[in-house]
Structure 1
């Protein structure tokens, strides 16, 4: 009886035995190059089976993988390498090859055995990188122990079994893609890797592969809702679609469900503490990110005093779990990331009496308007509800009385910017009304789906300076 397949990529399929044999061969090759227990190995790869093989080989040697985003340019890679100081490199990316000697994933891997001791729970497993929405990213250090807890929490939250079938289109260097790959293979579920996100390819494979759980970050969700022929695809194999990495835009999720009959579930996590909360798989409440998964504690604390808040009050979300990172590099950032053993998420939200968690926004992204704190996500939710708006991002720029609100939008047909300003003004308090709306070709996002507000802010301030403005408002207002 042939061994069942575990991983698919384009026309290729691999069993777990295939992956183990390839990992053994690569481990031998890396060991000959000097990789041993405690080494750090930079890994910069597109989404492909060789990424999985390399990760398993690195761990088989007792080394740690430094996961570099394949979207990064030279400066970002140089920054990451200087932080983590890896001694060896594996990948398929010319930027990494230019930075240090690299074992190429495009070379043939000769399968073979390689026996090694299992790594200790406290040994470093991976270095992933924080999102870097406000500057150069920090390296997040996870041990085998913290990663194992995260995988267990994610499996239980998803209700994943060996009968499930998934596909991964998000970068394997990001915590979400990494968790999904490791968890699926560890559980015995079947998984298809895609080199990159393509909405038509994704829909075709839900049908042909009988995918049961689909992962969607914001760009994927937006592409689903905008797809003109979504109803032509048979998506009946899906148990649910999981919205990850950013809070749900309800109008987008509901539009997809109305057209397909497939429900959404939402979860919440961070690179530093990967699995925090998840919605019920049946009847998810999409105005929340669910409740704490088993084994995780959540609290909210006052932004002013740091004291725990009663149910329903808005403050910083803090979390305690065995999946919390071991720390940052540079190490001096670690102390301020924790408060008495609780990880400080930097997210603002509230926890009701029944444990449902709602996220308002990032503390660093709240816009201060005439003494009021304004959450960009609240304004974005209103703009997303307008039929002309495909995508949007709201941010603040300096103004005489604090900050002015600017909304960048992409549109699917012509619409007056005054109309969009008034839509917000009609729905929300007057101080939440954007000072202006700008129509752009694209909303810049990280591969995780998080908006790069910093980029939009810099563009808006540069345009304002050229026009002679000084507060983010058009000169004719």
Structure 2
């Protein structure tokens, strides 16, 4: 069979372990560097080593098995970023469980919706999420056991520390009276066998930017393909992340870092002053962010020593070249601004920039196709594969692409060749660099033109009086749809609707003018990964309120 000249093929340079088992792979990697620091909490300055985390994982895995967890049982975790999170994830994987991560910011209705998809038997909560959502989880009939981080033990719950933390390194039984009696020894531990190519490891939830979240099934192979991706970055670069670990970018991005034995500083939530002070304090060399954070950082007042930063990774939403230029003014010694493109359904990035002078990054590009991945761009109507510099729907195939959605047939989401239809519009250039235009469902249909909201948003952010912006289409009898902008003003700045409309009209072509008007709001609604929740904005279109 011949290769299709319009398909873009990633490198075959992807080396996987003989046993396709994420838990076993991570445990072996972590134990080999057990004295090295894994995470530092930038807010509290506390730290944890790879060895401490691996020990918790082995202990927790044995405790889960003793409690009756069997291969394929679902264990949920709903927690803010804290060290114990990884004992649950890696320990659960070693026990053969399916892990599902739940956004602590979900409402009661959203928790019930996603839990009805995965139906976990066990759920792990932090004290914060127990107080917030404990009643909701207790009300779900399929949950048989609740496990709590921390020292306070609510009634009818178990403490994580009783299952995963011990100071006793002696011999004898590991579990006594349903409690951990001693640490499991690495040389005596054996992970539960799985069929890593087909068995589900994670059930994550799609972003829900265009509808209710769906349950995305990722296999051990999917996640290992991400963790084993080749890299030429130094493992000694200290990095900073604020990505929530319940989301694929934070979860699988962190596992990738662990696979390469990196040390990272994490913050439990984003605060621009704390973020910049943390860079200054720890001399951070590499930063992983989402575009809204980039914008906030670039427009933040105050003086900070950011000279240590060499590399910035951005993901979850497009980072436009204009914003990249702003970054270079904020970070004086920056060597590369790198992007990747992916989604929950593709585990992590299926295109990415590499730190390689032979393959330099291009402003606005999300990089080249990742190892083990094939991508085609197809015409939205005819589905014919397109060549360079032609925009169409991005379709992806390879070991990073999900097994499927829980309870949903694959036929509507995959084409006859096995390519996943992403719903994103983009193109690649003659050098194989990919560029994202917009979500297929978010394109504004102005007469015969397709207008990408992201392009207008990138321009609006350039305005000195604009701190953030989002654009949606509103119905118009003559044109079909016209763009309307929601704008967050920069503090202390004054600007009018007419001035914003004129700013856009002077810089973009006629179909992209803000004929729908401008609404000034306090904030743009976004999901945890930074994607704009346009469905929430559309609810406001017919409202007379201008505040979110």
TM (normalized to structure 2)?
Answer: 0.80
Q: Which runs of 5+ in 2 are unaligned?
A: 1-32, 139-144, 151-158, 167-182
CA contact (8 A) 1:366 1:374 kept: yes
SS in 2 for 1:317: strand
Which of 34, 47, 53 lines up with 2:81 in the alignment? 47
Q: Cα offset for 1:456?
A: 0.8
Which stretch shifts more, 63-72 or 107-116? 107-116
Report which of the two has the higher share of helix: 1
Which of 471, 479, 498 lines up with 1:418 in the alignment? 498
CA contact (8 A) 1:50 1:105 kept: yes
Which stretch shifts more, 313-322 or 449-458? 313-322
Q: Cα offset for 1:243?
A: 1.4
SS in 2 for 1:338: coil
Please give the alpha-carbon distance, in whole angstroms, between the structure 1 residues aligned to 2:105 and 2:291: 17
SS in 2 for 1:311: coil
Please give the alpha-carbon distance, in whole angstroms, between the structure 2 residues aligned to 1:450 and 1:256: 20
SS in 1 for 2:345: coil
Establish whether residue 35 from structure 1 lines up as the match of residue 69 from structure 2.
Answer: yes
Which of 184, 193, 198 lines up with 2:257 in the alignment? 184
**What residue is the counterpart of 2:377 in the other structure?**
300
Please give the alpha-carbon distance, in whole angstroms, between the structure 2 residues aligned to 1:110 and 1:75: 34
TM (normalized to structure 1)?
Answer: 0.91
Which of 445, 451, 468 lines up with 1:374 in the alignment? 451
Establish whether residue 352 from structure 1 lines up as the match of residue 429 from structure 2.
Answer: yes
Q: Cα offset for 1:424?
A: 1.4
**What residue is the counterpart of 1:236 in the other structure?**
307
Please give the alpha-carbon distance, in whole angstroms, between the structure 1 residues aligned to 2:521 and 2:266: 32
Q: Cα offset for 1:121?
A: 1.3
**What residue is the counterpart of 1:97 in the other structure?**
134
Q: Cα offset for 1:162?
A: 2.8
Which of 379, 384, 387 lines up with 2:464 in the alignment? 387
Establish whether residue 16 from structure 1 lines up as the match of residue 44 from structure 2.
Answer: no
Aligned residues between the structures: 459
Please give the alpha-carbon distance, in whole angstroms, between the structure 2 residues aligned to 1:163 and 1:259: 24
SS in 2 for 1:43: strand
Please give the alpha-carbon distance, in whole angstroms, between the structure 1 residues aligned to 2:454 and 2:38: 39
Q: Deviations over 1:13-37 (max 9, x none)?
A: 2222211221223223333432121
**What residue is the counterpart of 1:277 in the other structure?**
351
Q: Which runs of 5+ in 1 are unaligned?
A: 467-477
**What residue is the counterpart of 1:7 in the other structure?**
39
Q: Deviations over 1:191-212 (max 9, x none)?
A: 2232111222222222333322
Please give the alpha-carbon distance, in whole angstroms, between the structure 2 residues aligned to 1:216 and 1:182: 16
Which stretch shifts more, 358-367 or 186-195? 186-195
CA contact (8 A) 2:34 2:50 kept: no
Please give the alpha-carbon distance, in whole angstroms, between the structure 1 residues aligned to 2:65 and 2:45: 31
**What residue is the counterpart of 1:131 in the other structure?**
207
Q: Deviations over 1:162-216 (max 9, x none)?
A: 3122222111011110122211222111122321112222222223333222001
